[in-house]
Structure 1
Amino acid sequence: MCILFIANNMRDDYPLIIAANRDEFYARPTAPSSFWKSHPHLLAGQDLEANGTWMGVTRNGYVAALTNVRDPHNINKNAVSRGELVANWLKHDSVEMKSVAQSQYLATLEKTRHRYNGYNLLFGDINSLKVYNNVNNSTHIIDTGVYGLSNADIATPWPKVTQGVTALNNYVTKQNIINDEDLFDILRYDNKADDALLPDTGVGYEWEKALSSIFIQSEKYGTRTSTLLLVDKNNTLTWKERRFSDKGEAQETRAFSFSI
């Protein structure tokens, strides 16, 4: 998962909107979104190499999503796969004591943070979300507003993050009706950042440029899926996942809807 945008409590009809892209090497085997046979309450795609996931939800309203922190100079090749952090939160959801569960899981994240390469983890439930960054060992509460999260901490204004936050904020505050295709369009923005605004994360100019757009398409790496998560005022959750080829062409859209 490379980038996600959150509109939290910005509308009465849709209190929660999350729009996210997963960027990954095309060769990495992946299963599309479905309810997992081993955990029937859990809806997510699955990384078939490490058996974790990058984003998911549960029938009880638990939510989790992951972005990697880009820092090629501090990569531990023996680190535990970060995708298990999303899966672990979603596997152990319960209807009761959600606030206690969040506090306990946050304590686990803090205790185990050195086992993983850098990450941001959005986790919680539809009414209470936070982002944990293991590099800074920091936690950010998702309050009312529009947020963007990419491959630095949530306070870092990379150009594509700013672009997406601005686009989503304008959309949710000005449109009378929320249209899924409009949200997918935001996730398809493929314009590159100006050279002067590129971050310097140690991957070199060519990669910084290629990775500077919301939607990424290169020879071996790019946006594999776009995912929408919307919760309406009646606590009906809609999940849509759109998969892309290595040419950036839309291949399949899967849709799920259920009451929490």
Structure 2
Amino acid sequence: MCIAAWAWDCHPAHRLLLLFNRDEYHSRPTQPTQWWAPGEGSKEILGGRDELGGGTWMGCTRDGRLAFLTNVREPSSLIGGKTRGQLPVRFLQGSHGPLEYATEIAKEADQYNGFNLILVDLNLGTMVYISNRPGGDPVIQTVAPGLHVLSNAAIDSPWPKALRLGQTFERYLETHDDADTSLKHMVEELMMDTIKPDRCMVPETGVDPEWEYKISSIFIDTAKGQARYGTRSMVALAVKLDGEITFYERYLENTLWKENFIQFHMEKEQQREP
């Protein structure tokens, strides 16, 4: 189901600091974060890959485009809905700015199960949020500078796990200067948190309350029937003011936790419409 927290355009040394946990059934085949071989005319994407749908939950490009996705918790699903993981891919491989792309996606939003999508152009300094739930027309908004959290409801919704991550993230940034901001340490300190709220605080989403409680922590490790479900990967991404991008991932492969560390410098592109 995923959860993300980020500091956008409000840090003295970073344009963006992003933390992201991906939650999924352990049986779903997945490739860890790597550079995808670009197809003809398409851009190279750095991201994990869902081998069933072919999309991603989070990815970026060398020219400063970034997108990440969470599902919206809902009791029923649209049978035959389009694969949500293609929404970030289409943005990353395309040329539209975040707002233009979000406007285009809004026209087909009813063809997808519930999603929250964040679109970023680091060269433009633009971040946009689009969601197709709950009900009515899709919501599109520009994301203001500051600290934000996104789980499986609207951006900055006060779910207990979102509030907890937002608070711990803010405290971490207040007590660690840039030289002491280790992405690996941030993941270990903030994204492996297994504390659940009191049952009375768990949000009512229409799904089974017991299941909602089991997945109410930031880091999840549980089961649904015979199927193991939980946090499959944890990511920290940092974009410095000079354009240096550092990507750290801790991911589960079978029963072993492994690590990825990738660093590159963002390329400049010609001015585009936001």
After the TM superposition, list the runs of 4 or more consecutive aligned residues in structure 1 that deviate by more than 3 angstroms: none
- Contact 1:10–1:173 (Cα < 8 Å) also in 2: no
Q: Structure 1 residue 66 and structure 2 residue 69: aligned?
A: yes
Please list, as runs of the form range in 1=range in 2, the aligned pairs for 1:85-234 lying within 5 A after superposition: 85-93=87-95, 101-126=97-122, 127-136=125-134, 137-176=138-177, 177-184=180-187, 185-219=189-223, 220-234=228-242
State the number of aligned residues. 251
Q: 1:246 to 1:70 in 2, by over 3 A?
A: farther
Q: Name the structure 1 match of 2:9.
A: 9
- Contact 1:237–1:257 (Cα < 8 Å) also in 2: yes
Q: CA deviation at 1:130?
A: 1.5
Q: CA deviation at 1:128?
A: 1.4
Q: Structure 1 residue 256 and structure 2 residue 257: aligned?
A: no
- Contact 2:248–2:259 (Cα < 8 Å) also in 1: yes
> RMSD in angstroms over aligned alpha carbons?
1.6
Structure 1 Cα separation of the partners of residues 170 and 230 of structure 2: 25
- Contact 2:61–2:92 (Cα < 8 Å) also in 1: yes
Provide, for residues 93-119 of structure 1, a one-character-per-residue CA deviation record: whole Å limited to 9, x for no partner: 4xxxxxx62232112111010010010
Q: CA deviation at 1:246?
A: 6.8
Structure 1 Cα separation of the partners of residues 98 and 119 of structure 2: 8
Structure 2 Cα separation of the partners of residues 17 and 211 of structure 1: 25
TM-score, structure 1 length as denominator?
0.92
Structure 2 Cα separation of the partners of residues 181 and 66 of structure 1: 22
TM-score, structure 2 length as denominator?
0.87
Q: CA deviation at 1:66?
A: 0.3
Q: Percent of pairs identical after alignment?
A: 32
5+ unaligned residues in a row in structure 1: which ranges? 94-99
Q: Name the structure 2 match of 1:96.
A: none
Q: Name the structure 2 match of 1:97.
A: none
Structure 2 Cα separation of the partners of residues 14 and 182 of structure 1: 17
- Counterpart AA for 2:151: S
Q: CA deviation at 1:15?
A: 2.2
Structure 1 Cα separation of the partners of residues 37 and 239 of structure 2: 24
Q: CA deviation at 1:155?
A: 3.9
Structure 2 Cα separation of the partners of residues 254 and 182 of structure 1: 14
Range moving further from structure 2, 9-18 or 50-59: 9-18
- Contact 2:184–2:248 (Cα < 8 Å) also in 1: no
Structure 1 Cα separation of the partners of residues 54 and 70 of structure 2: 16
User: Secondary structure, in 3 states, of the residue corresponding to 1:212?
Assistant: coil
Please list, as runs of the form range in 1=range in 2, the aligned pairs for 1:44-55 lying within 5 A after superposition: 44-55=47-58
Q: Structure 1 residue 243 and structure 2 residue 251: aligned?
A: yes
Q: 1:103 to 1:11 in 2, by over 3 A?
A: closer
